[in-house]
Amino acid sequence: MTKQNTIITKLLINEKVLHSPLTKRIQSKLPSVETIVFQENDMKKTLQTNDGPTTLLLTNLKGQPIIMCPGTTKYHCCNYRILNIGHNCTFNCTYCILQDYLKTKSLSVFTDIPEYMQKNIIEKNISAESLYRIGTGEFTDSLIIDDITELSSDLVNFFRDYPNVLLEFKTKSLNIDTLLKLKPASNIIVAWSVNSSLISNIIESDSPSLDERLEAAKIIAKHGYDVAIHFDPMILYENYFDDYQVTIQKIYKAIPKEKIRWISIGTLRFTKGLKSTFLKKSPLFIDEFILADDQKFRYLRFRREKAYKEMVKEIRNHNPNQFIYLCMESATVWKNVFGFNFKDNEEFENWFNEKVFTHL
Ligand code: SF4
């Protein structure tokens, strides 16, 4: 499999985390990289002066380690939770809204996260009586610099003792070496965001290709982890389904169907604030969009429903029992695609958990 080595040319370290074990581990992997240690008050200035896609900022987490997925209002959301391990991603997918929200290019890692686990802070957020799906790939790619941080080893070894938690690493990367050194656990899911080859090659061109991602998923599944697949965002360009059908066929050729714990589908959507810039990003985005109730622009509902029905049908051709969910979709769309919907997000979450906590 192709190796993916993260290029870091500058290390910025907040003095507050200078002595944290994870900071030390990262420094040991980057012995010859220019390193700047700064005081908390100088963070903004230091970052402005040294910002760049090969700059890595090590700092402490501000705020809660586990938060609810930002998701949306008025539409169905599955109450996914986010473990905040860092910010930013250098894959620069053209549709990615991170670039619009995070006004910096540098990657950042909160190197005090492992301490949150030791200090039982994580336990304050998760009660033994409940089930949780927690992911680390919302504000960054979960594994984009795991070849340097090896943070996945801390997380897997911590959460393997919490079967009531499904921990998901969501990635486009090929950085699976650390995970391959560990004993898999049935509550640890490694997920890839995928798309049609056309979109992967044009819109996601800085990230590993679709075939490379599926090769990595195949190796991870063979090693014993369950995987998940995210078609998000699906882009409804002309004859889109011919290409997505090929992607689905490639997935089931690469990964045994019983190893795919869930598949999510979400069509392209973007916030009102991004409209003026978003459609100029690629001719593939040019289409008819409607401003939905949650103030996000979406494709017209009938087109979304058609796309979801096509995808569900094709996926079920490969595995009639495949668990599939729609991300941030309306109750009407759920009803028209699956024949049911949910009275609230809690009902969605409980239905979801019933389907995926198969290891309990
Ligand atoms: S449906 Fe999607 S956006 Fe909503 S909580 Fe779940 S993962 Fe997050």
d(CA 40, ligand 1 centre) in Å: 33
Separation between Cα atoms, residue 194 and residue 178, nearest integer Å:
22
The vertex-95 CA angle with 316 and 145, nearest 5°, equals 90
Q: Which of 67, 68, 69 to mutate to test the pocket of ligand 1 (most atoms within 8 A of CB)?
A: 69
Peptide bond into 31 cis (omega under 30): no
What pLDDT, on a 0 to 100 scale, did the predictor assign at position 281?
83
Separation between Cα atoms, residue 341 and residue 221, nearest integer Å:
31
| For ligand 1, atom 6: residue with the closest CA | 78
| Cα dihedral: 123, 127, 130, 135 (round 10) | -20
Say yes or no: CB of residue 198 within 6 Å of ligand 1: no
Beta bridge partners of 87: 108
DSSP string, 270-296: EEGGGHHHHTTS-GGG-S-EEE-TTSE
Measured from the Cβ of residue 68, the count of other Cβ atoms closer than 10 Å reads 12
Say yes or no: CB of residue 78 within 6 Å of ligand 1: yes
Say yes or no: CB of residue 352 within 6 Å of ligand 1: no
Say yes or no: CB of residue 82 within 6 Å of ligand 1: no
pLDDT per residue as tens, the chain (360 positions): 555 667 899 999 999 999 999 999 999 999 999 999 999 999 999 999 999 999 999 999 998 889 999 888 889 999 999 999 999 999 989 888 887 778 889 999 999 988 877 666 667 778 888 999 999 999 999 999 999 999 999 999 999 999 999 999 999 999 999 999 999 999 999 999 999 999 999 999 999 999 999 999 999 999 999 999 999 999 999 999 999 999 999 999 999 999 999 999 999 999 887 787 787 888 888 899 999 988 899 999 999 999 999 999 999 999 999 999 999 999 999 999 999 999 999 999 999 999 999 878
d(CA 76, ligand 1 centre) in Å: 8
Asked if 58 and 13 count as a contact pair (C-beta separation under 8 A), the reply is yes
Q: Which of 133, 327, 329, 351 to mutate to test the pocket of ligand 1 (most atoms within 8 A of CB)?
A: 327
- Residue 255's region, left for phi above 0, alpha for psi from -120 to 50, else beta, is beta
Residue 310 has phi, psi (to 5 degrees) of: -60, -45
Give, for 189, the enclosing helix (H) or strand (E).
strand 188-194
In the CATH scheme, what is the code of domain 62-87+116-359?
3.80.30.30
Say yes or no: CB of residue 307 within 6 Å of ligand 1: no
Separation between Cα atoms, residue 326 and residue 233, nearest integer Å:
11
What pLDDT, on a 0 to 100 scale, did the predictor assign at position 120?
65
Separation between Cα atoms, residue 115 and residue 335, nearest integer Å:
44
**How is residue 57 written in tokens?**
């900022």
**How is residue 97 written in tokens?**
């809204």
d(CA 115, ligand 1 centre) in Å: 27
d(CA 133, ligand 1 centre) in Å: 11
Helix and strand totals (H; E) in the chain? 15, 16
- 3 state SS of 209: coil
What pLDDT, on a 0 to 100 scale, did the predictor assign at position 102?
83
Q: Could you identify the atom of ligand 1 that is nearest to the CA of residue 329?
A: 1
